[in-house]
Amino acid sequence: MVKPKSLAILISAVVIASILAFSILSPTPTEKERSLPPVFKGIYQLGIVNASPVTVVVDCLLPEVPTEVTIYRVLEPKVDDVYAANMAQQLGFEGEPVPLNPGETREIYTYINETHRLEIRLDGSILLAKDTDLQLPRSLPSEQDCIAIAERWLTAHELYSENVVEMETKPYLMVDGNPLTIGVTFKVAIGGYEAHGLGILVAVGESGEIVTVSMSLPQSEAYRSVKLKTVDAALGILKYYLTTPSPPPPENLECIINMRAFTRLTVQNITLQYFNNAGYLQPVYVFEGEAYDQYSPNVESFVGMVDAVDRTV
Protein backbone atom coordinates (compact mmCIF):
# COMPACT_ATOMS: atom_id res chain seq x y z
CA MET A 1 0.00 0.00 0.00
CA VAL A 2 1.31 3.41 -0.96
CA LYS A 3 1.39 5.91 1.82
CA PRO A 4 -0.38 9.24 1.24
CA LYS A 5 2.90 11.17 1.60
CA SER A 6 4.61 8.96 -0.97
CA LEU A 7 1.65 9.32 -3.30
CA ALA A 8 1.87 13.07 -3.08
CA ILE A 9 5.58 12.98 -3.87
CA LEU A 10 4.95 10.63 -6.81
CA ILE A 11 2.21 12.85 -8.24
CA SER A 12 4.39 15.93 -7.81
CA ALA A 13 7.26 14.22 -9.61
CA VAL A 14 5.01 13.19 -12.48
CA VAL A 15 3.60 16.71 -12.79
CA ILE A 16 7.06 18.31 -12.76
CA ALA A 17 8.35 15.78 -15.28
CA SER A 18 5.34 16.45 -17.52
CA ILE A 19 5.90 20.18 -17.36
CA LEU A 20 9.59 19.75 -18.20
CA ALA A 21 8.80 17.40 -21.07
CA PHE A 22 6.11 19.74 -22.40
CA SER A 23 8.40 22.73 -22.21
CA ILE A 24 11.10 20.84 -24.15
CA LEU A 25 8.73 19.49 -26.80
CA SER A 26 6.68 22.68 -27.13
CA PRO A 27 9.01 25.58 -26.49
CA THR A 28 7.58 28.98 -25.76
CA PRO A 29 7.80 31.41 -28.70
CA THR A 30 11.36 32.40 -29.35
CA GLU A 31 12.44 36.02 -29.66
CA LYS A 32 12.30 35.58 -33.44
CA GLU A 33 8.69 34.41 -33.39
CA ARG A 34 7.55 37.11 -31.01
CA SER A 35 9.18 39.95 -32.91
CA LEU A 36 7.54 39.45 -36.30
CA PRO A 37 5.63 42.71 -36.90
CA PRO A 38 2.25 43.01 -38.63
CA VAL A 39 2.84 43.06 -42.36
CA PHE A 40 1.29 46.52 -42.77
CA LYS A 41 2.77 48.04 -39.60
CA GLY A 42 3.14 51.85 -39.72
CA ILE A 43 1.31 52.31 -42.99
CA TYR A 44 -2.29 53.19 -43.53
CA GLN A 45 -5.00 52.93 -46.12
CA LEU A 46 -6.79 56.26 -45.86
CA GLY A 47 -10.11 54.92 -47.14
CA ILE A 48 -13.52 56.35 -47.93
CA VAL A 49 -16.57 56.72 -45.71
CA ASN A 50 -20.00 55.80 -47.02
CA ALA A 51 -18.80 53.94 -50.12
CA SER A 52 -21.26 51.47 -51.63
CA PRO A 53 -20.52 47.77 -51.18
CA VAL A 54 -18.55 46.26 -54.05
CA THR A 55 -19.77 43.12 -55.81
CA VAL A 56 -16.77 40.83 -56.24
CA VAL A 57 -16.62 38.36 -59.14
CA VAL A 58 -13.65 35.99 -59.36
CA ASP A 59 -12.86 35.31 -63.00
CA CYS A 60 -9.69 33.26 -62.59
CA LEU A 61 -8.49 30.05 -61.00
CA LEU A 62 -7.41 30.22 -57.40
CA PRO A 63 -3.64 29.67 -57.28
CA GLU A 64 -2.05 26.63 -55.73
CA VAL A 65 0.12 27.80 -52.85
CA PRO A 66 2.26 25.94 -50.31
CA THR A 67 1.17 25.69 -46.71
CA GLU A 68 4.33 27.44 -45.54
CA VAL A 69 6.75 29.97 -47.00
CA THR A 70 9.93 31.65 -45.82
CA ILE A 71 9.93 35.16 -44.40
CA TYR A 72 12.97 37.26 -45.22
CA ARG A 73 14.66 39.83 -43.01
CA VAL A 74 15.82 42.98 -44.76
CA LEU A 75 19.53 43.74 -44.40
CA GLU A 76 19.83 47.50 -44.41
CA PRO A 77 23.07 48.86 -45.80
CA LYS A 78 25.13 51.26 -43.74
CA VAL A 79 24.40 54.42 -45.69
CA ASP A 80 26.92 57.00 -44.58
CA ASP A 81 28.98 59.76 -46.18
CA VAL A 82 31.27 57.27 -47.92
CA TYR A 83 28.46 55.02 -49.21
CA ALA A 84 26.53 58.02 -50.50
CA ALA A 85 29.59 59.56 -52.18
CA ASN A 86 30.41 56.28 -53.94
CA MET A 87 26.84 55.85 -55.17
CA ALA A 88 26.73 59.46 -56.33
CA GLN A 89 29.96 58.99 -58.27
CA GLN A 90 28.61 55.79 -59.83
CA LEU A 91 25.66 57.81 -61.13
CA GLY A 92 27.78 60.69 -62.38
CA PHE A 93 27.26 63.20 -59.58
CA GLU A 94 30.23 65.13 -58.21
CA GLY A 95 30.67 67.28 -55.15
CA GLU A 96 29.12 67.33 -51.74
CA PRO A 97 25.57 66.42 -50.74
CA VAL A 98 23.05 69.10 -49.79
CA PRO A 99 24.21 70.29 -46.35
CA LEU A 100 22.12 70.15 -43.23
CA ASN A 101 20.85 73.25 -41.53
CA PRO A 102 22.01 73.73 -37.92
CA GLY A 103 20.32 71.28 -35.58
CA GLU A 104 18.88 69.04 -38.29
CA THR A 105 19.16 65.28 -38.49
CA ARG A 106 20.06 63.83 -41.87
CA GLU A 107 17.09 62.08 -43.46
CA ILE A 108 18.64 61.64 -46.88
CA TYR A 109 21.68 62.39 -49.04
CA THR A 110 20.87 64.66 -51.97
CA TYR A 111 23.22 65.55 -54.82
CA ILE A 112 22.45 68.07 -57.53
CA ASN A 113 23.86 68.47 -61.03
CA GLU A 114 22.83 70.70 -63.95
CA THR A 115 19.74 68.70 -64.81
CA HIS A 116 18.87 66.17 -62.10
CA ARG A 117 18.80 65.60 -58.38
CA LEU A 118 19.89 62.31 -56.83
CA GLU A 119 18.48 61.21 -53.49
CA ILE A 120 19.98 58.32 -51.56
CA ARG A 121 17.81 57.23 -48.67
CA LEU A 122 19.18 55.75 -45.49
CA ASP A 123 17.65 52.38 -46.45
CA GLY A 124 19.68 52.43 -49.67
CA SER A 125 16.80 53.20 -52.04
CA ILE A 126 17.35 55.83 -54.70
CA LEU A 127 15.44 58.56 -56.50
CA LEU A 128 16.97 60.28 -59.50
CA ALA A 129 14.69 63.01 -60.83
CA LYS A 130 14.67 65.93 -63.21
CA ASP A 131 12.56 68.94 -62.31
CA THR A 132 9.27 68.63 -64.11
CA ASP A 133 8.56 70.70 -67.19
CA LEU A 134 4.96 70.21 -68.20
CA GLN A 135 5.53 71.05 -71.86
CA LEU A 136 4.14 68.23 -73.96
CA PRO A 137 6.81 66.30 -75.86
CA ARG A 138 6.72 66.40 -79.66
CA SER A 139 7.17 62.65 -79.62
CA LEU A 140 7.95 59.90 -77.19
CA PRO A 141 9.89 56.72 -77.90
CA SER A 142 7.84 53.58 -78.44
CA GLU A 143 7.30 51.34 -75.43
CA GLN A 144 9.88 48.86 -76.75
CA ASP A 145 12.38 51.66 -77.25
CA CYS A 146 11.69 52.92 -73.73
CA ILE A 147 12.49 49.47 -72.34
CA ALA A 148 15.72 49.34 -74.34
CA ILE A 149 16.69 52.86 -73.27
CA ALA A 150 15.98 52.08 -69.62
CA GLU A 151 17.91 48.80 -69.73
CA ARG A 152 20.87 50.52 -71.38
CA TRP A 153 20.94 53.25 -68.74
CA LEU A 154 20.70 50.81 -65.84
CA THR A 155 23.40 48.57 -67.28
CA ALA A 156 25.70 51.52 -67.95
CA HIS A 157 25.33 52.61 -64.31
CA GLU A 158 25.65 49.06 -62.94
CA LEU A 159 22.16 49.16 -61.45
CA TYR A 160 20.47 46.42 -63.44
CA SER A 161 19.36 43.64 -61.10
CA GLU A 162 19.72 39.93 -61.80
CA ASN A 163 16.46 39.41 -59.94
CA VAL A 164 14.36 41.19 -62.60
CA VAL A 165 11.58 38.84 -63.65
CA GLU A 166 9.18 41.08 -65.54
CA MET A 167 8.97 44.45 -67.25
CA GLU A 168 5.91 46.64 -67.63
CA THR A 169 5.36 49.96 -69.37
CA LYS A 170 2.68 52.58 -68.89
CA PRO A 171 2.42 56.37 -68.96
CA TYR A 172 4.10 57.85 -65.91
CA LEU A 173 3.44 61.57 -65.84
CA MET A 174 0.30 62.79 -67.61
CA VAL A 175 -1.08 66.28 -68.26
CA ASP A 176 -4.70 66.55 -69.30
CA GLY A 177 -4.61 62.91 -70.37
CA ASN A 178 -1.45 63.24 -72.49
CA PRO A 179 1.71 61.37 -71.47
CA LEU A 180 4.86 63.37 -70.80
CA THR A 181 6.93 60.35 -69.87
CA ILE A 182 6.66 56.58 -70.18
CA GLY A 183 7.40 54.54 -67.08
CA VAL A 184 9.25 51.24 -67.42
CA THR A 185 8.92 49.11 -64.31
CA PHE A 186 11.41 46.31 -63.66
CA LYS A 187 9.82 43.90 -61.20
CA VAL A 188 11.96 41.62 -59.06
CA ALA A 189 11.40 38.28 -57.34
CA ILE A 190 12.57 36.88 -54.02
CA GLY A 191 12.39 33.19 -53.20
CA GLY A 192 10.44 32.50 -56.37
CA TYR A 193 7.71 35.08 -55.69
CA GLU A 194 7.40 38.65 -56.92
CA ALA A 195 8.40 41.34 -54.44
CA HIS A 196 5.41 43.65 -54.62
CA GLY A 197 6.31 47.15 -55.69
CA LEU A 198 10.04 46.64 -55.28
CA GLY A 199 12.43 46.96 -58.20
CA ILE A 200 13.21 49.83 -60.50
CA LEU A 201 11.06 52.37 -62.26
CA VAL A 202 12.60 54.37 -65.11
CA ALA A 203 10.56 57.18 -66.66
CA VAL A 204 11.66 58.03 -70.19
CA GLY A 205 10.78 61.35 -71.81
CA GLU A 206 11.23 63.13 -75.09
CA SER A 207 14.18 61.96 -77.19
CA GLY A 208 14.79 59.13 -74.75
CA GLU A 209 15.81 61.37 -71.87
CA ILE A 210 15.90 59.68 -68.48
CA VAL A 211 13.54 61.83 -66.40
CA THR A 212 13.02 59.73 -63.27
CA VAL A 213 14.59 56.63 -61.74
CA SER A 214 13.08 55.23 -58.55
CA MET A 215 14.79 52.14 -57.19
CA SER A 216 14.34 49.97 -54.13
CA LEU A 217 16.22 46.66 -54.12
CA PRO A 218 16.81 45.68 -50.50
CA GLN A 219 19.14 42.82 -49.64
CA SER A 220 17.58 40.15 -47.44
CA GLU A 221 18.23 36.85 -45.68
CA ALA A 222 15.92 33.96 -44.87
CA TYR A 223 14.44 34.49 -41.41
CA ARG A 224 11.93 31.71 -40.65
CA SER A 225 8.98 29.95 -42.19
CA VAL A 226 5.34 30.82 -41.55
CA LYS A 227 2.06 29.07 -42.24
CA LEU A 228 -0.18 30.66 -44.84
CA LYS A 229 -3.86 31.50 -44.81
CA THR A 230 -5.83 29.80 -47.53
CA VAL A 231 -6.63 31.81 -50.66
CA ASP A 232 -10.31 31.45 -49.77
CA ALA A 233 -9.73 33.00 -46.36
CA ALA A 234 -7.83 35.88 -47.96
CA LEU A 235 -10.60 36.39 -50.51
CA GLY A 236 -13.06 36.60 -47.63
CA ILE A 237 -11.00 39.33 -46.00
CA LEU A 238 -10.81 41.26 -49.28
CA LYS A 239 -14.60 41.04 -49.66
CA TYR A 240 -15.06 42.29 -46.11
CA TYR A 241 -12.90 45.36 -46.79
CA LEU A 242 -14.83 46.01 -50.01
CA THR A 243 -18.24 45.88 -48.37
CA THR A 244 -17.86 47.67 -45.05
CA PRO A 245 -19.02 51.29 -45.33
CA SER A 246 -16.31 52.71 -43.05
CA PRO A 247 -12.53 52.61 -43.43
CA PRO A 248 -10.80 50.18 -41.08
CA PRO A 249 -8.89 51.50 -38.07
CA PRO A 250 -5.16 51.93 -38.68
CA GLU A 251 -4.18 49.23 -36.22
CA ASN A 252 -3.87 45.62 -37.39
CA LEU A 253 -4.70 46.23 -41.03
CA GLU A 254 -5.10 42.95 -42.88
CA CYS A 255 -5.85 44.35 -46.31
CA ILE A 256 -4.81 47.28 -48.48
CA ILE A 257 -6.70 48.26 -51.62
CA ASN A 258 -5.97 50.89 -54.23
CA MET A 259 -9.60 51.96 -54.61
CA ARG A 260 -12.89 51.66 -52.79
CA ALA A 261 -15.38 53.99 -54.46
CA PHE A 262 -16.69 51.71 -57.18
CA THR A 263 -19.37 49.07 -57.48
CA ARG A 264 -18.11 45.93 -59.22
CA LEU A 265 -14.75 44.13 -59.14
CA THR A 266 -13.76 41.37 -61.53
CA VAL A 267 -10.72 39.59 -60.09
CA GLN A 268 -8.56 38.40 -62.98
CA ASN A 269 -5.37 37.35 -61.25
CA ILE A 270 -4.44 36.15 -57.76
CA THR A 271 -0.80 35.68 -56.80
CA LEU A 272 1.34 35.21 -53.74
CA GLN A 273 3.93 37.98 -53.45
CA TYR A 274 6.27 39.43 -50.85
CA PHE A 275 5.57 42.79 -49.21
CA ASN A 276 8.47 44.82 -47.85
CA ASN A 277 7.76 46.70 -44.65
CA ALA A 278 9.04 47.16 -41.10
CA GLY A 279 12.26 45.29 -41.82
CA TYR A 280 10.76 42.10 -43.25
CA LEU A 281 9.53 40.65 -46.52
CA GLN A 282 6.28 38.91 -45.63
CA PRO A 283 3.85 37.11 -47.95
CA VAL A 284 0.65 38.75 -49.16
CA TYR A 285 -2.02 37.61 -51.55
CA VAL A 286 -2.34 40.11 -54.39
CA PHE A 287 -5.70 40.39 -56.12
CA GLU A 288 -5.68 42.21 -59.45
CA GLY A 289 -8.59 42.95 -61.72
CA GLU A 290 -10.92 45.50 -63.21
CA ALA A 291 -12.96 47.95 -61.15
CA TYR A 292 -16.18 49.20 -62.68
CA ASP A 293 -18.06 52.23 -61.46
CA GLN A 294 -21.18 53.47 -63.20
CA TYR A 295 -20.11 57.10 -62.76
CA SER A 296 -16.54 56.77 -64.06
CA PRO A 297 -15.82 56.86 -67.77
CA ASN A 298 -13.11 54.20 -67.63
CA VAL A 299 -12.65 50.77 -66.10
CA GLU A 300 -9.81 51.12 -63.60
CA SER A 301 -7.07 48.69 -62.58
CA PHE A 302 -7.67 47.29 -59.13
CA VAL A 303 -4.94 45.99 -56.80
CA GLY A 304 -5.69 44.59 -53.35
CA MET A 305 -3.27 42.98 -50.94
CA VAL A 306 -4.21 40.70 -48.05
CA ASP A 307 -1.85 39.55 -45.30
CA ALA A 308 -1.11 35.90 -46.19
CA VAL A 309 0.41 34.87 -42.87
CA ASP A 310 -1.81 32.73 -40.66
CA ARG A 311 -1.18 34.53 -37.38
CA THR A 312 -3.53 32.33 -35.37
CA VAL A 313 -1.01 29.47 -35.11
Partner 1 sequence: MTIILCSTFRISLAYAWYEGVGLAIDFGGDWWTDAQGFANIIDNHPSWNKYFVSNSPLPAWWREESYGGIDNSVADYTQLSLMQGHSVDLGGGLIGVGFGPLGYTGPNAVRLGYVSPDNYGYAIWWFIVECSVFKDSSYPSWLYTLTGVHMLLGFKNDAVICSTDLRELANRLTGSGGYSKETVQNAFFHTYVAQDGIHNNNIARILAENTDVANNDKIDSFNSQTPVDATKIIITCPG
Residues 181-220 that bind partner 1 (CB under 8 A): 183, 185, 195-201, 214-216
Give the one residue of 1, 2, 25, 46 binding partner 1; rule: CB under 8 A.
46
Q: Looking only at residues 117 through 136 of this chain, which bind partner 1 when binding is defined by CB under 8 A?
A: 117, 119, 125, 127, 129, 131-135
Backbone phi, then psi, for 93, in 5-degree steps?
Answer: -105, 135
**Cβ atoms within 10 A of the Cβ of 295, count?**
7
Q: Which is nearer to partner 1, 24 or 134 (CB)?
A: 134
Give the one residue of 151, 206, 209, 293 binding partner 1; rule: CB under 8 A.
293
Query: What three-state secondary structure class fits 178?
Result: strand
Beta bridge partners of residue 108, listed in sequence order = 121
Mark 53-82 with x for binding to partner 1 (rule: CB under 8 A) and - for no binding: ------------------------------
Question: DSSP letter at 244?
Answer: -
* Dist CA 121 CA 112 (whole Å): 15
Maximum separation of any 2 CA atoms in the chain, in Å: 104
Question: DSSP letter at 267?
Answer: E
Mark 147-166 with x for binding to partner 1 (rule: CB under 8 A) and - for no binding: --------------------
Mark 77-116 with x for binding to partner 1 (rule: CB under 8 A) and - for no binding: --------------------xx-xx--xxxxxxx-x----
Residue 183: CB minimum distance to partner 1, A: 6
Contacts of 64 (CB under 8 A, 6+ apart): none
Residue 218: CB minimum distance to partner 1, A: 9
Q: Looking only at residues 227 through 286 of this chain, which bind partner 1 when binding is defined by CB under 8 A?
A: 246-247, 250, 256-261, 275-277
> For 174, how many CA atoms within 13 A lie in the half-sphere containing its CB?
6
Q: Which is nearer to partner 1, 45 or 268 (CB)?
A: 45
Q: Which is nearer to partner 1, 36 or 257 (CB)?
A: 257
Residue 107: CB minimum distance to partner 1, A: 4
* Dist CA 188 CA 162 (whole Å): 8
> For 218, how many CA atoms within 13 A lie in the half-sphere containing its CB?
22
